Amino acid sequence: MTELDQLLAQGEHASLEFKSEDVRSESLARELVSFSNTLGGVVLIGVDDHGAIVGVSDRAAMEQRIVNVARHHVVPAIDLDVAWLRREDKDVCQVRVDKGTAKPYQTLDGKFLIRVGSTNRQATKEELSRLFQAAGLIHFDRRIQLFLFRDRLEVRSPGRLPNTLNLRKIRYGNSAPRNLLLLKYLDNMRYIDGLGRGIPSMIQALGERVGFAEIGEIFTVTIWLSAQRSRG
């Protein structure tokens, strides 16, 4: 039994997907993303959903298309291993996707997909958090600290403002995200709304009762509990 026969006999499962030659780029990208975010897998192009070989008519064009999807429809881009199998005078493209080393991966429309059985689904918040932690994009050893005094509340966040920002600019809604991938995740989960709106909204609501400062490597927000805030 050939390698292709063995793959076809397995049917679609957690690490194997069948696609016909006319697969849309968005559909192929979803498979690449889900395999990369999970344990890797193989996509056979030129095979219908029932495991029947329909073939690929233009090998060069298909390879170019696959590379384009991997580079431009998956964020971050991934590397693939493309090989060709043949049976019944028909070519089948074998696309091998490794378990990703730069997780989490997403589609162009911002979907973080994982592979479950023979299907893809969006990762839950908990699953995404684990992916971000595994990639080192979320660190819990630098927690935001809250200090409550008799006259004020201080919120201290590790890390200075990015180089393009200063204490004056942030008051007018300027923003500069440090991690675009993490920002996209938080936006998808609806944890944030409107970049740069937070501090102007605080100023509008609290007036002179709110202040901002950088002390060493700490960014501090102070909220005075009384309208008669200390000016010392």
| CATH number of the domain encompassing residue 197 | 3.30.565.60
Strand segments, DSSP code E, in the chain are 16-19, 41-45, 74-75, 81-87, 90-97, 106-107, 113-116, 119-122, 145-148, 152-158, 210-215, 218-224
Looking at residues 39-57, what average pLDDT do you find? Answer: 96
pLDDT of residue 1: 83
Residue 231 pLDDT grade (very low, low, confident, very high; cuts 50, 70, 90): very low
- Is residue 139, in this structure, part of any structural domain at all? no
Does 206 lie in the same domain as 126? Answer: no
Which token pair is 78? 């991934």
pLDDT of 37 > 70? The answer is yes
Is 196 within 8 Å of 212 (Cβ atoms)?
Answer: no
In this predicted structure, what is the pLDDT of residue 196?
76
Same domain, 119 and 12: yes
Compare 229 and 173 and report the one with higher pLDDT.
Answer: 173
Counted domains in the chain: 2
Residue 230 lies in a domain: no
Is the per-residue pLDDT at 2 higher than 90?
Answer: yes
- Residue 232 scores a pLDDT above 60: no
Which pLDDT does position 93 carry in this prediction? 98
Q: What does residue 160 show for φ and ψ, rounded to 5 degrees?
A: -80, 170
pLDDT of residue 67: 97
Per-residue confidence (pLDDT) for residue 162, from 0 to 100:
80
Domain check: are 180 and 120 in the same one?
A: no
Task: Determine the structural domain holding residue 182 and report its residue range.
Answer: 145-224
**Are 119 and 9 members of one domain?**
yes
Q: Is 103 helix (H, G, I), strand (E, B) or coil?
A: coil
78 and 25 Cβ atoms separated by less than 8 Å: no
Query: Which percentage of the chain shows pLDDT scores above 90?
Result: 62
pLDDT on residue 229: 54
CA distance to 123, 185, 189, 190, 195, per residue, from 126 (Å): 8, 12, 11, 15, 24
Span 29-51, average pLDDT: 96
Does residue 195 sit within a domain? yes
On whether both 68 and 115 belong to a single domain, the answer is: yes
Listed in sequence order, the residues at least 6 apart from 66 whose beta carbon sits closer than 8 Å to its beta carbon are 28, 45, 80, 82, 93, 95
What CATH number is associated with residue 85?
3.30.950.30
**Quick one: pLDDT at residue 99?**
95
Average pLDDT over residues 128-136: 74
The pLDDT, as a whole number, for residue 122 is 93
Q: Is residue 140 part of a domain?
A: no
Cα 131 from Cα 12, distance rounded (Å): 25
Indicate whether 66 and 163 sit together in one domain. Answer: no
Residues 123 and 150 in one domain: no
Q: What is the pLDDT of residue 228?
A: 59
Which residue would you say has higher pLDDT here, 20 or 183? Answer: 20
Which of 100-104, 128-132, 136-140, 171-175 has the lowest average pLDDT?
Answer: 136-140
Q: What is the pLDDT of residue 230?
A: 47
Considering the domain boundaries, does residue 214 fall inside one? yes
Return the closest-CA partner of residue 32 out of 24, 134, 22: 24
Convert the pLDDT of each residue in 60-79 to its tens digit: 999 999 999 999 999 999 99
Residues 48 and 71 in one domain: yes
Same domain, 65 and 115: yes
109 and 168 inside one domain: no
Check if the beta carbon of residue 32 is closer than 8 Å to that of residue 103: no
Give ∠ CA 36-189-129 in degrees, rounded to 5. 50
107 plus 158 within the same structural domain: no
- How far is the C-alpha of 121 from the C-alpha of 115, rounded, in Å? 7
Mean pLDDT over residues 194-198, rounded?
A: 75
**Would residue 39 count as lying in a domain?**
yes
Check residue 132 and give its pLDDT: 76
